Chains A and B, each alone.
Chain A
Amino acid sequence: MTRRQPISGLAIGTCLILLFLFAPLAVATLYAFNSSSSLSWPFAGFSTRWFEKIFTDQRFISSLETSFQAAILTAILATAIGTFAAFAFSRVYSRLGSAGQALGRLPVMLPPVFIGIGFIAFMRVTSWSPGLPTIVLGHTVVAIPWVILVMLSRLRSFDVELEFAARDLGAGAWQTIRRITIPTIAPAMLGAALLAFSWSFDETLITTFTAGTETTVPLYILGKMRRLIDPSGNAVATILLLIPWIAFGLAALAFRRSGTGLGAVLGQQGR
């Protein structure tokens, strides 16, 4: 089918743009395996020594632990808050609901630097010192809009008749939620949680304000970028590329099970 079509300018443009997006990532990943310590062409030879080097670096290991902790806590918190809100938005149209929806979109419309300095102000007023809890709160705030987006799209396609049927058959409200609603939306919730996880794992701009003395993986790379870069930075970058991608790939699988077209849903965010 593709053969019969003439290659159009549109297709060439698409290829070039995709090359522009992915080639730098491919080169950066390739150089994580370079046997020499330079990042120049030609590629010296294949080696895993830089991965061995970073996995013996205690600072990197602890940054990896912090990132995992923050991402897991963010996933739980953002999924809970976002799902509750999306549930209310999908069932009731009220002034409170529309105010909530408008507020829930704020974090994606503000540059992260504003949210970051907001946290500085918040911590100063409340005398709260920066650390893991503030990292998690910062990530949660930006992850919530994405959770609401996917959960709302799932809940709107949800057949409410199922709940009525359960109630007619004598199930209580709580029983209906537990036996009908939650099992139906569970795959989408898992997907939303994984999306929040991958968002949190990579978050850099807000984290620079909320981390205090903690270091996450992005902050670790940022530290490396301030000095002379060697392929160990590329090794960390490869890991930082892969972990959110894996979480996101799992999220995509969960969304496929729940029948939510992820591309279309994510696309609505910018509007």
Chain B
Amino acid sequence: MRIGRRLEALLISPLLVAMLGFIVFPVLVLFGYSLFAWLYVQPQGDPTLNNYIQVLTDPLYRTIAVNTLLIGIPTAALSVAGGYVLAYYIVFGGSTWRGIVLVLVVTALMASFLVRIYAWRTLLGATGVVNSILAGLGLVDRPVEFFAFSKLAAVIAEVSVFLPLAALTFFAALSGVSPDLRGAARDLGASRLQALRRITIPLTGPAILASTALIFFLSAGDFITPVFVGGVESVTVGIVIANAFGVIGNFGMGAALSFLVLLAFVLVYAGLRAGMRAGNFLPERTGQP
């Protein structure tokens, strides 16, 4: 059935209202907030760029940026690598287990975010299962603190959150790669690894790029995992933003920080894309959307 312009506008308008009202409009308001100094949850004085300048110059924020990178980069890299393995198995694994692995990946994706964090927290805690098994085996005589409340613990927990997301993205991407291309490469004398490196990975390059950047971005914005699993050494930018809009009430600083993270994300994406292009990890002449 054909639908006219007016009906089309009518059908799309609730979506436009929701996205413009609750995403685009708030972003504009936040940009306004970022241009003021805030005191007692109120904007003060004249517009200024001080919030941005302070974030870029204050060494405190440098530490936070370093923490965010130290957690975000390994999280994105490990999630993408692990997700690729799962997706590769589902698409090319060639056994009856493929379907079951796909179901398990989707099930893992739909497993509660908070329960996964809770599980790692109780598993890695000082009196948790890992430590009590180690103590029981006589391997340690007191709880190993670095299991919980470390950047490593935050990375482990975040990888378990983001890996299924990457796996499903790569499942969709790999499903579009014709096995004939790999077969042809093998026939022409490429080793299994060469076929993967020269054919399969470049063809799924756009998905790898998008997943890596998105997971890094999501990791930077997560303010629950680093607090409850990462502990005091894992103060990331997500936590600082959340606190600025929570207990601290400095909306201007929180908003400025958010826009700088957004800018950093664009730079990371562009850098990653240039790097992948230089290393021939992206298909040639592709109009990346």
Which residue of A has the minimal Cβ distance to B218?
A: A111
Q: Is the CB of A20 within 8 A of B160?
A: yes
Check B150 for interface membership: any CB of A closer than 8 A: no
Chain B binder among A48-56, A58-66, A183-191, A233-241:
A233-241
Q: What 0/1 readout, one digit per residue, does chain A (107-139) give for beta carbons within 8 Å of chain B?
A: 101111111111111101100000000000110
Q: Is the CB of A84 within 8 A of B228?
A: no
Q: Is the CB of A245 within 8 A of B111?
A: yes
Check A14 for interface membership: any CB of B closer than 8 A: yes
Q: What 0/1 readout, one digit per residue, does chain B (215-259) give for beta carbons within 8 Å of chain A?
A: 001101111100010000000001001100110000100110010
Report chain B residues within 8 Å CB of A266: 106, 109, 168
Q: Is the CB of B11 within 8 A of A85?
A: yes
Q: Is the CB of B12 within 8 A of A271?
A: no
Contacts A41-B129, A114-B258; A141 near B172 (Cβ below 8 A): no
Q: Is the CB of A40 within 8 A of B109?
A: no
Report chain A residues within 8 Å CB of B221: 110-114, 205
Q: Is the CB of B242 within 8 A of A113?
A: yes
Alpha-carbon distance between A263 and B121 when the two chains are bound, in angstroms: 29
Q: Which of A2, A167, A177, A263 has the most CB of B within 10 A?
A: A263
Check B18 for interface membership: any CB of A closer than 8 A: yes
Report chain B residues within 8 Å CB of A38: 127
Alpha-carbon distance between A31 and B223 when the two chains are bound, in angstroms: 26
Contacts A117-B241, A119-B26, A225-B121; A17 near B82 (Cβ below 8 A): yes
Q: Is the CB of A14 within 8 A of B136?
A: no
Report chain A residues within 8 Å CB of B128: 39-40
Which residue of B has the minimal Cβ distance to A43?
A: B129
Q: Is the CB of B22 within 8 A of A11?
A: no
Check B48 for interface membership: any CB of A closer than 8 A: no
Which residue of B has the minimal Cβ distance to A4?
A: B95
Report chain A residues within 8 Å CB of B175: 264, 267
Q: Is the CB of B102 within 8 A of A122?
A: no
List which A232-271 residues lie within 8 A (CB) of chain B.
233-234, 237, 240-241, 244-245, 248, 252, 262-264, 266-271
Count contacts on A: residues with CB < 8 A to the other chain: 99
- Report the interface size class on chain B: 35 or more
Q: Is the CB of B122 within 8 A of A22?
A: no
Alpha-carbon distance between A208 and B214 when the two chains are bound, in angstroms: 22
Which residue of A has the minimal Cβ distance to B124?
A: A24
Check A76 for interface membership: any CB of B closer than 8 A: no
Q: Is the CB of B106 within 8 A of A263?
A: yes
Q: Is the CB of B114 within 8 A of A240?
A: yes
Check B173 for interface membership: any CB of A closer than 8 A: yes
Alpha-carbon distance between A190 and B116 when the two chains are bound, in angstroms: 27
List which A13-52 residues lie within 8 A (CB) of chain B.
13-14, 17-18, 20-22, 24-25, 27-28, 31, 38-42
Q: Is the CB of A237 within 8 A of B86?
A: no
Report chain B residues within 8 Å CB of A122: 21-22, 25-26, 29
> B196 to chain A: closest CB distance in Å?
11
Q: DSSP majority for the B interface?
A: helix
Q: Is the CB of A271 within 8 A of B15?
A: no
Q: Choose one: A24, A87, A208; the contact of B119 (CB below 8 Å).
A: A24
Which residue of A has the minimal Cβ distance to B19?
A: A103
Check B27 for interface membership: any CB of A closer than 8 A: yes
> A192 to chain B: closest CB distance in Å?
14
Chain A binder among B49-57, B179-187, B205-213, B276-284:
B205-213
Q: Choose one: A94, A117, A173, A237; the contact of B8 (CB below 8 Å).
A: A94
Q: Choose one: A21, A112, A167, A244; the contact of B1 (CB below 8 Å).
A: A167
Alpha-carbon distance between A20 and B163 when the two chains are bound, in angstroms: 10
Contacts A2-B96, A97-B8; A267 near B108 (Cβ below 8 A): no
Chain A residues with CB under 8 Å of chain B are: 1-2, 5, 10-11, 13-14, 17-18, 20-22, 24-25, 27-28, 31, 38-42, 80-82, 84-85, 87-89, 91-92, 94, 96-97, 100, 103-104, 106-107, 109-122, 124-125, 137-138, 140-141, 144, 148, 160, 163-164, 167, 173, 176-177, 181, 198, 202, 204-205, 208-209, 218, 221-222, 225, 229, 233-234, 237, 240-241, 244-245, 248, 252, 262-264, 266-271
22 A-B pairs whose Cβ atoms sit less than 8 Å apart in the complex: A11-B89, A21-B104, A28-B122, A41-B132, A88-B11, A96-B8, A97-B12, A106-B19, A118-B27, A118-B30, A121-B29, A122-B22, A137-B22, A140-B18, A163-B1, A181-B1, A222-B224, A244-B111, A245-B107, A248-B110, A270-B169, A271-B169
12 other A-B residue contacts (CB within 8 Å) besides A28-B123, A141-B19: A2-B97, A13-B89, A21-B111, A115-B22, A116-B242, A117-B241, A121-B26, A221-B114, A225-B121, A263-B105, A264-B175, A270-B172
Shortest 7 CB-CB contacts between residues of A and residues of B: A111-B221, A118-B26, A267-B172, A270-B169, A40-B132, A24-B119, A28-B119
